[in-house]
Structure 1
């Protein structure tokens, strides 16, 4: 059956890409809310487009609370296999070598904001479901594709969706990696506030605060040091893969510390911050936790700002599934500068499912059938809808060894990988849709 899917996918690829390009051209970045668009006009436009496409394929469709859309194959609205993707994207950023809001092909690779995260995989699920229907495949269970519009900014869309709709019996989100992801690490972001003498603090200022965001390692910092501008360039990478980047904030601190640019409290501060440069696993903060399921804790300083008479450093931490947030907090409290205070600004406990559940095993088989690769379930440092929606796990789209592609300029996905995703997801829909329900 897998080869049959592959040939059908290949023959229909031009039609799929034409549809996908229309979705890629929607600038679905969160903006100010407006009437019937709680996350801005762009995300709502994406929901309206996917409903239009789904309806043209002959599926039941709807938009829930202006926050999420669904395209459904089957009539049971309360007992369904759920596949939860998202159509919102992070801002384009700078330094693209091609239009960010389009589908561009160079060689055997597609480019565009959202091609990987998460428009490409989400629309591959939709088109794969269309192909199954057109091939005459029948399902014992309803399959509902749900398309969110706020995943990149906190997933407030899912609470709006679940306020009106039943949770799925089980399912997945195509927004992480392969194989099946049975556990997601806990996430906690801290604001570490350190008082600094006002006269000293006048010697320092960040000039491009807009370049700092929790979703990526800061790749540029422009600062005013004793009335002189200094530009530090690093390398951008997702905040859950800091080892693939070069943190411009801690690099700046190292430069200032090496040159002894400041004395007193400010000098002590940048000496402390410099000690975190390259320390991606929490050693410098006393939180070097690890476990067999998750591996090592990951730590990323992502923003530095002045608040009144203090410097505030924001740090994102992904901690192992066997560790608690309280353990992380207590560890950090022992390794900050005197008189510093710690505030939790984001808290997402980890989530774990049993690897032995039948539907997770079926996803593993669906992956193995299409790829020939080992489908043993894994854990992730990422955060997906699996934390917000009961009974689902992350499943794809990135293959082993692929990391640090999303949220960067020239976001890409190889053509063969995009089509392989469609095949895997078609396998998964058949396995779950025709399988037992308990």
Structure 2
């Protein structure tokens, strides 16, 4: 294997970026223009996650073929592009794993979410940060090695899935048909490297809301997004009366049936509730406390929302916990009351040493106390790599050296494709040492006005190129990730 000095490698990367930055941005914009919010899972369909996700995968195939990669489609779940000239047969591969599906756009945007643009060094649009620009960066890492004289001892590929946000059936399907990589890089988090991801439990609650004046209630779009707004329709209520009983932050409008009440919250990712404000919980609490709601079942349903989700850290559900991965979190991500029934989609992120069985018992008990039912659960167990693993240490040192930081490997509540890989980790492209330039609740993944700083991506690209070389060398020396 040809060796390059650090200076030579840096020069090669600089030249490559100068030649390809605009193309990378253009490719990312093309992907962002596609509304790839996943739809209801349709097993057996050629488009199991809907037309938008299928269109995003079609665009990914086009880009991969343009770069002369060996392309394999995985039944509408994802697509793999393999660097044809990399590695020797039978030695195994290094894999990048990213996703092209996005969460629903929600409300409060300052511009159309699927019309991307660059301003002040940031690329804006739904999916810019999570995860389309990073997916393009990984594609161009393969392009870099295809065009360079540096030959790898192991294969190199990129897998792009379309169900990361809502079940991760994409990577599970891939691994059911393809051997796992010797080591997987997941560019869907922060540097320096994530060594542990919390468990994720999704829980569906239901209950009857038959009598009373609560005609409808709606807040939130999905499990893992903190609701940005919530609206309720009440019958037989005079608008001026409602305005006197509610705080000024609540909007009261006349409706044919009575009044429509709306409140804004602060959106964000369910796994990172700091600075968020759940609008659905806020509205439920205000309606109960004001006395505007009539009917025992309606009061009970909204009290369930108010009291069980009053804290994003599980205290009100009896599942508060903290370990090396941080505090457990709980989110009422989508709350609907319609046609006499409550539906609540709950996201729980729990510690790497926390017992999921205990959590399930607490959730079922909470539902019973309020006349609700826990009707469905889906668990994704925690992911953990030892901090002193040779690969973790090497990649952590690489990221810190390139970024001029001195940060330890970290654990997080966010979950990525890495949790399904026998050997892999979430590794950038974002930075934890730089504060956001956007107002609270804006500019991040799962938030309105989503954006990613382009300079961050160029730094990450350099790190990813060197990471491939580092992993390739460790594997050639006989190192095996633990």
Q: TM-score under structure 1 normalisation?
A: 0.89
Matched-pair contact (CA < 8 Å) for 2:308–2:366: no
Matched-pair contact (CA < 8 Å) for 2:293–2:299: yes
Alpha-carbon offset, residue 149 of structure 1: 2.0
Q: Look up the SS of the partner of 1:280 in the other structure.
A: coil
Aligned to 1:232: 263
Alpha-carbon offset, residue 174 of structure 1: 0.9
Find the aligned partners of 2:303 and 2:111 in 1 and give their Cα distance. Answer: 40
Calculate the aligned-residue CA RMSD, in Å: 2.7
Aligned runs of 1:25-424 on 2, under 5 Å? 25-31=33-39, 36-73=46-83, 74=86, 76=89, 79-194=92-207, 198-199=210-211, 202-208=212-218, 211-227=220-236, 228-262=259-293, 264=296, 266-276=298-308, 278-291=310-323, 293-306=324-337, 311-336=342-367, 337-400=369-432, 405-424=444-463
CA shift in 2, pair 1:278/1:167, >3 Å: same
Unaligned runs of at least 5 residues, structure 1: none
Deviations 1:370-420 (A, max 9, x none): 212224221111121122333222112221156871122221001211211
CA shift in 2, pair 1:287/1:392, >3 Å: same
Task: Work out whether 1:19 is the aligned partner of 2:32.
Answer: no
Alpha-carbon offset, residue 243 of structure 1: 3.0
Find the aligned partners of 2:382 and 2:112 in 1 and give their Cα distance. Answer: 36
Q: Look up the SS of the partner of 1:166 in the other structure.
A: coil
Q: TM-score under structure 2 normalisation?
A: 0.81
Larger relative contact order (CA 8 Å, sep ≥ 6): 1
Deviations 1:225-284 (A, max 9, x none): 244321122121112223322111111122123312246454455445333565111112
Q: Look up the SS of the partner of 1:163 in the other structure.
A: helix
CA shift in 2, pair 1:103/1:430, >3 Å: farther
Does 271-280 or 125-134 show the bigger shift?
271-280
Does 336-345 or 347-356 show the bigger shift?
336-345
CA shift in 2, pair 1:186/1:344, >3 Å: farther
Matched-pair contact (CA < 8 Å) for 1:188–1:316: yes
Deviations 1:59-89 (A, max 9, x none): 3322233322222222547711111111222
Matched-pair contact (CA < 8 Å) for 1:95–1:409: yes
Alpha-carbon offset, residue 325 of structure 1: 0.9
Task: Count residues with an aligned counterpart.
Answer: 433
Q: Look up the SS of the partner of 2:129 in the other structure.
A: coil
